[in-house]
Amino acid sequence: MHKDVRTTITPGRLMALLAVTALLLTGAPGCGKKSAPGDGAEAGPVTVDFWYSYGGRNREVTEELIKRFNDSHPDITINGTFQGDYFENLSKVRMASRTKRGPVATHIIGEAIPQLHEAGLLEDLDPYADGQVEGVEKLDRADFIPGLSQEGYFDTLGKKVPLVSLPFNRSTPIVYYNVKMFKDAGLEPPKTWEELVAVSKQLTVREGDETKVWGFEVAIDWWFWYAMLHQAGGSLLNQTGDKARFAEEPGIKALDHLVRMVKEHKSMKHPPGRDYNAWEVANTDFLNQKVAMIWTSTAYLKYFKLNAKFEVGTAFLPKQVKRAVPTGGTFFVIMKNKPEAEKRAAWTFIRWMSEPDQTAYWSRETGYMPVRRSALESEEMKAFYKENPEYRTTIDQLEHSVPFPFSPKLVEIQRKILKPVLERPVVEDADVAEVLKKAAEEANKLLASDR
Amino acid sequence: MRESDVHPTLRAGALALLVLIALVEVTPYLWMVSTSLKSLPEVIAFPPTLLPSEAMWSNYAEVWGSAPFGDYIANSVIIATSIMITQGILACLAGYAFARMEFPGRDAMFYAVIACLMIPPQVRFVSIFLLLDNFDLLDTYAAQILPHSVSALGIFLMRQAFLAVPQEIIDAAKVDGAGTLRIIFQIMLPMAAPTLTAFLLFSFVFHWNDYFWPLVVTLEETVRPLPLGVAMLREQGTGSRWHLIMAGNVILVAPLLVAFVLAQKRIVKAFVFASIK
């Protein structure tokens, strides 16, 4: 009986069905559109795929700059596309590097650059910057603001590292405070950790069990803890980059300070949420005047200025044994496995983006820092800073910037080992020293592995 | 048991519980719609307002103008519909084979299909990505449709549904000279329709909302579906404009809601049937 069933499948009908299916799959309109990989032929403009991670307003600013570039460079077309957030883009870049597709240029968070460099994915930019590549002019490297360039962002741990990136959106954490609340209480932004505790206590307003206004709020997150680690005189790794040092006294003190402000003094609100969600909670509380002072990125400056119904003040982070502030943001990179002509065109683009006009425009529109001294000193920016002095805070603070170790394991230590556990002392009542000690053991294991 | 037999207190209690469940389900959507019509200061104001003081329809215009949303919707329709149709057809064919045909290795193959249910897509995406690249299929509709064109869940469900069809009916059809395809699509399928409808619905909704896969296999914007367009409304480091993000989300779910409303009767019937069996 079953044999009969099988023999009655008419091949013709089956084929028809499969054909329809195939049509559905491949015959759909718009199928197969793609830009052919450029072979560097001199005829016609060179198209450069540039991947970026911006949605929202930053995307609009980025697209505007791309448009200006394309309009002023008839021989180059920059094809900019959104590829998800920083980490989604990073994964895609890594994956695409194993194929013939993928971008020629993109921008990458600083912490991930050593890993990509170690994997051999990044083009060595020294020859371009030195003008040794045909048709490329020498770049004035000294014009980059020291704390913002690749050299300033990294401690190369005694190794020689070529130039593989140019700075794009660069930031530092700064203090934002509600000027009126501080004035009413007769207070100044705190200059030391001790003052931070005292000022926060004074600004906290409690009615019964309910806290009406918190003195201080910051996400218990890698970036802010890293600042305090260095303020307390510590460092992430040792000088050769093969051992973790963050579980020593300064690291413990840094985390413990925040934990005690939350649990003991009850003057700091711990914003809930993962990653940037916690940052956003702090932002919203600040705008709603539920908190007198927060730490967050200078990149939110424009957002606060547009949406706050009170005067927003900015200040340096406080110090402990010294002042210290990490920088953040992304760098442009060029992928190595691409045709020469495209790489040259990509260099023209990322160099153009760092030039005074563009970096100044970017800075004013976003709150990130301009990356060139000549941009800072331009008449335009001088006038701008005169009118908006709070935009200067992050730049003046750069004097105290501290680098990250140029270790291929840096991004993993940050993302996989430290970020997930820093909140544990607050959320789960875990012991600060225990948490860091365990993380340091994991980090040491990772640093010792060949991977 | 007729309705009138139920104690009034019990009825009222059940009703109250249902209302509560409905509220829990519906509130996030209402909140989304309300937020999408507020201005940013109102969105972040504390305490929050329930309804916008003034409906900002311009939020929708701003979202619509920020990227080619018309194209995204068209792409989403093409991709989700194609997946739904191919999954449906192939699930019927394979489900029939596993339920009603005898061939060597059938059970082993069926277990292999079941095993596929357990493997999350994230495990295989790198190899599929490289495979698609070798076939030069990245950045196409095919890259977004082909890897999903067969559904293990669909095959499993259709096999179970076909098993429930009495053999006599199939035998009778065969006596009358019906071929296998006719038996599957004209005789057995109507009896398994509730299962198929429920499956197709899940398939469509899942792939309509899918963010991960399209993000992986598209490098250009031309063939991207709606969820990627909506993701572009998210800010990174400049303060989220929640009113715009929510307007984008309304645009994302509105077609699904409209489809649900239009097909409501059929859907409810399908689920009732499916649960009775």
Q: DSSP per residue over A22-80, as a string?
A: HHHHHSSTTTT--PPPP---SSSPEEEEEEE---HHHHHHHHHHHHHHHHH-TTEEEEE
B248 occurs within a structural domain:
no
Give the torsion through C-alpha atoms of A52, A58, A63, A66, to 10 deg.
-70
B95 occurs within a structural domain:
yes
Listed in sequence order, the DSSP H helices in A176-271 are 179-184, 193-203, 222-231, 249-263
> Total domain count for chain B?
1
B 17-76 residues inside an 8 A Cβ radius of A: 40-41, 44-46, 66, 75
Query: What gap in Å lies between CA B232 and CA B229, rounded to an integer?
Result: 5
For the four alpha carbons of A185, A186, A188 and A194, in that order, the dihedral sign comes to negative
* pLDDT of res. A8: 42
CATH number at residue B222: 1.10.3720.10
B202 occurs within a structural domain:
yes
* pLDDT of res. B268: 79
CB contact under 8 A, B239 and A8: no
Confidence of residue A40 (pLDDT cuts 50, 70, 90): very low
Query: What gap in Å lies between CA B172 and CA B177, rounded to an integer?
Result: 9
* pLDDT of res. B3: 57
* pLDDT of res. A276: 85
**Looking at the predicted structure, is the pLDDT value of residue A5 above 80?**
no
Residue reference for tokens 């000690």: A437
Nearest to A31 among B141, B234, B241 (CB): B141
For chain B, list residues with pLDDT below 70: 1-4, 237, 270-271, 273-277
Query: What gap in Å lies between CA B153 and CA B199, rounded to an integer?
Result: 8
State the nearest Cα–Cα gap between B13 and chain A, in angstroms: 35
What residue type is assigned to position A98 of the chain?
R
B77 occurs within a structural domain:
yes
* pLDDT of res. A17: 47
Confidence of residue A275 (pLDDT cuts 50, 70, 90): confident
User: Where along chain A do its domains lie?
Assistant: 46-170+328-396, 173-326+420-448
A333: β partners:
A106
Query: What gap in Å lies between CA A157 and CA A407, rounded to an integer?
Result: 8
A51: β partners:
A81, A106
* pLDDT of res. B60: 96
B 126-155 residues inside an 8 A Cβ radius of A: 126, 129-130, 133, 136-142, 145-146, 149
Task: Identify the closest residue of chain B to A53 by CA–CA distance.
Answer: B236
For the four alpha carbons of B209, B212, B214 and B218, in that order, the dihedral sign comes to positive
User: Region A194-205: what's the mean pLDDT?
Assistant: 97
DSSP assignment of B123-163 equals HHHHHHHHHHHHTT-TTSHHHHHGGGSS-HHHHHHHHHHHH
CB contact under 8 A, B142 and A26: yes
**Range name among A97-101, A253-257, B156-160 with the lowest pLDDT average:** A97-101
Query: What gap in Å lies between CA A68 and CA A156, rounded to an integer?
Result: 35
Query: What gap in Å lies between CA A236 and CA A257, rounded to an integer?
Result: 18
**Looking at the predicted structure, is the pLDDT value of residue A178 above 60?**
yes
Condensed to tens digits (0 to 9), the pLDDT of residues A319-333 reads 999 999 999 999 999
pLDDT greater at residue A69 or residue A99: A69
- For residue A423, the SS3 value is coil
Using alpha carbons, select from A79, A172, A153, A55 the residue that is nearest to residue A113.
A153
CB contact under 8 A, A10 and B181: yes
B21 occurs within a structural domain:
no
A393, A171 contact by CB (below 8 A):
no
* CATH number belonging to the domain at A173-326+420-448, selected among 3.40.50.150, 3.30.460.20, 3.40.190.10, 2.40.110.20: 3.40.190.10
A272, A263 contact by CB (below 8 A):
no
Query: What gap in Å lies between CA A230 and CA A319, rounded to an integer?
Result: 9
Residue reference for tokens 């559905």: A24
* pLDDT of res. B220: 87
Counting residues of chain A whose pLDDT is more than 90, the rounded percentage is: 82
Separation of CA A285 from chain center:
23
For strand A105-109 and strand A328-334, is the pairing parallel, antiparallel, or unpaired? Answer: antiparallel
What's the ipTM?
0.81
Residue B160: Cβ-neighbour burial (10 angstroms; 0-12, 13-18, 19+): middle
Query: What gap in Å lies between CA A279 and CA B238, rounded to an integer?
Result: 11
State the nearest Cα–Cα gap between A3 and chain B, in angstroms: 8
Residues in chain A closer than 8 A to B219 (CB atoms): 49, 51, 81, 83, 92, 96, 101-103
DSSP assignment of B6-52 equals S-HHHHHHHHHHHHHHHHHHHHHHHHHHHHHTS-HHHHH-SSPPSS-
* pLDDT of res. B264: 81
B242 occurs within a structural domain:
no
The two structure tokens encoding residue A349: 């683009």
Residue of B101, B133, B238 best to disrupt the A interface, most CBs of A under 10 A: B238
**Looking at the predicted structure, is the pLDDT value of residue A96 above 70?**
yes
pTM score of the predicted model: 0.85
Query: What gap in Å lies between CA A384 and CA A397, rounded to an integer?
Result: 18
Query: What gap in Å lies between CA B193 and CA B205, rounded to an integer?
Result: 18
B186, B196 contact by CB (below 8 A):
no
CB contact under 8 A, A56 and B231: no
Q: What Å distances lie between residue A55 and A85, A364, A372, B239, CA to CA?
A: 8, 18, 25, 11
Query: What gap in Å lies between CA A103 and CA B224, rounded to an integer?
Result: 17
Long-range contacts of A236-240 (CB under 8 A, 24+ apart): A236/A404, A236/A405, A236/A413, A237/A157, A237/A405, A237/A407, A237/A447, A239/A157, A239/A158, A240/A157, A240/A158
Nearest to B237 among A32, A290, A297 (CB): A297
The two structure tokens encoding residue A80: 């900019």
Q: Is B112 on the interface with A (CB under 8 A)?
A: no
Query: What gap in Å lies between CA A422 and CA A259, rounded to an integer?
Result: 10
pLDDT greater at residue A302 or residue A182: A182
User: Region A427-440: what's the mean pLDDT?
Assistant: 96
**Looking at the predicted structure, is the pLDDT value of residue A429 above 70?**
yes
Residues in chain B closer than 8 A to A25 (CB atoms): 82, 86, 141-142, 145-146, 149
* pLDDT of res. A44: 74
Nearest to A30 among B45, B222, B238 (CB): B222
* CATH number belonging to the domain at A46-170+328-396, selected among 3.40.190.80, 3.30.70.330, 3.40.190.10, 3.30.70.2520: 3.40.190.10
Residue reference for tokens 């009222």: B12
Counting residues of chain A whose pLDDT is more than 70, the rounded percentage is: 90
Query: What gap in Å lies between CA B158 and CA A218, rounded to an integer?
Result: 53
Task: Identify the closest residue of chain B to A92 by CA–CA distance.
Answer: B216
* pLDDT of res. A7: 38
B193 occurs within a structural domain:
yes
Query: What gap in Å lies between CA A302 and CA A286, rounded to an integer?
Result: 14
Query: What gap in Å lies between CA B59 and CA A130, rounded to an integer?
Result: 48
**Looking at the predicted structure, is the pLDDT value of residue A443 above 60?**
yes
B213 occurs within a structural domain:
yes
Condensed to tens digits (0 to 9), the pLDDT of residues A330-372 reads 999 999 999 999 999 999 999 999 999 999 999 988 889 999 9
**Parent domain of B78:** 67-232
Cβ neighbors of A446 (< 8 A, separation 6 or more) are A409, A412, A413, A417
Q: At what angle do helices A56-72 and A340-354 cross, to 10 degrees?
A: 110
Write out the H or E segment, with its range, that includes residue A109: strand A105-109
